[in-house]
Structure 1
Amino acid sequence: MQRPIAATLLAWSLALAGCGDGGGAGDGRDTTAGAALDTASSVGDTGSAAGAGNQSSAAMRDARGRDLGTLTLAPDGEGIKVSGRLVGLPPGEHGIHLHAAGRCEPPKFESAGDHWNPTNRQHGTGSPKGPHLGDLPNLEVARDSSVTVEETTPGGALSGAAALLDADGAAVVVHASPDDYKSQPSGGSGDRVACGVVTGS
């Protein structure tokens, strides 16, 4: 009788040992899954952090206060990308620039100050000592008074050193005439016909 009992006890011991090994393997699988979840969470958090606080906008209005649309400003690796759609500008070519003060007092919008120029360069890509960081390519407004804006500044950032959004803010200004990219101080682009204060960051 002792041998069958001993055999039974041995079998139970082996079974329990097998369960313990299985649990270890299960723990291994759980650890791997947990690591994958941790990695996914980490990637998600990084994306969220990178996307937070790095976009601004400017609600554009003409001299009579009419809403023309909103432009978005965001870093793109080369400078600041300015994008959006405007409706209500006169058809034709217009200069557009980032200005150094966050004020848009109609009708002349002179309160927006000079072009954003933290590097103290000359105006225009055609100038040997240019351009301003606030210089952008001209807009080509269609006959229906609409234009899609997709422009990037030649450097600069929304925040940090030499930032666009400093203590007195910034504005986007559209001019009556095209920018010739070389005349000082604003490329001969004429009167300021639209303005939007840059907000948010």
Structure 2
Amino acid sequence: MKTGFVLLMIISAVLMFAATGSAQKNVTDNATDNVTDSAVAILKDAQNNTVGFATFSEDEFGLVRIQVLVRGLEPGMHGIHIHENANCTAPSFTSAGGHYNPLGREHGLANPRGPHAGDLPNLIVGYDGTGYMDVVTNFATLSPGQTTLFPDNGTALVIHADPDNQMTNPAGNSGDRVACGVIEKA
């Protein structure tokens, strides 16, 4: 079962990157580069099992597309955030630090004083334990700059046990960290 899931993840990653590459090639043929950078994160649970992966790609306008595929999580909504350290030491993943917040804002996509650069919508996991998320953010970038996902200490993608209420500091009451993956340049 694990081998099948890992194979499915690899095939899905190849397809996502192939689609990104195709878009880049088509646009490059027209003398415009649509994708400026890309990154990946392999998500592991507290027992160091691979439970998913994420891809990150940035377009020419600075928008970052994040695609996440997971399995083996509890059904329901889960907070998912980019955290401030490229460190995913199990079992608690507290080594990833707090939410990535280089601009010093408050937590939550619905917070008038927010959001953190690492705040994302909730991840929905189905009854079969699988979930997929495809979002675009302009709060963080893969390019150099103040909100780059590649600062000196790096960043990580963390999935929480509970949904994020998108308002409450510091993490929207999203509960324990159940999966973590270091964000690395592809």
Q: TM-score, normalised by structure 2?
A: 0.78
- Of structures 1 and 2, the larger Rg is shown by 1
**Structure 1 letter corresponding to 2:40:** S
Aligned-pair CA distance for 1:134: 0.5
| 2: CA distance, partners of 1:154 / 1:122 | 16
Report the counterpart of residue 185 of structure 2 in structure 1: 200
Question: Residues 150, 50 of structure 1: CA spacing in aligned structure 2 closer, same or farther, 3 A cutoff?
Answer: closer
Structure 2: distance between partners of 1:68 and 1:194 = 8
Alpha-carbon shift at residue 159 of structure 1 (Å): 2.4
- What's the Cα RMSD here? 1.8
Q: Could you tell me whether the CA contact under 8 Å between 1:59 and 1:196 is conserved in 2?
A: yes
Aligned equivalent of 2:103: 119
More helix by share: 1
Once residues 164 and 154 of structure 1 are traced to their aligned partners in structure 2, the CA distance between those partners, rounded to angstroms, is 12
Distance 1:110 1:200 in 2: 22
**Cα deviation per residue 1:16-48 (whole Å; 9 max; x = unaligned)?**
xxxxxxxxxxxxxxxxxxxxxxxxxxx54956x
What are the superposed Cα offsets for residues 114-168 of structure 1, whole Å, 9 maximum, x if unpaired? 1111111100022220111100000110010000111223422112111111111
Amino acid at match of 2:46: A
> Does 2:109 correspond to 1:130?
no
2-side partners of 1:116 and 1:74: how far apart? Answer: 18
For the Cα contact (< 8 Å) 2:109–2:121, is it kept in 1? no
Partner of 1:106: 90
Identity of aligned residues (%): 39
Q: Residue type matched to 1:61 in 2?
A: K
Gaps of 5+ in 2: 1-27
The answer to which structure has the higher strand fraction is: 2
- Answer whether contact 2:161 2:175 (CA < 8 A) is retained: yes
Q: Any gaps of 5 or more consecutive residues in structure 1?
A: 1-42
Aligned length in residues: 157
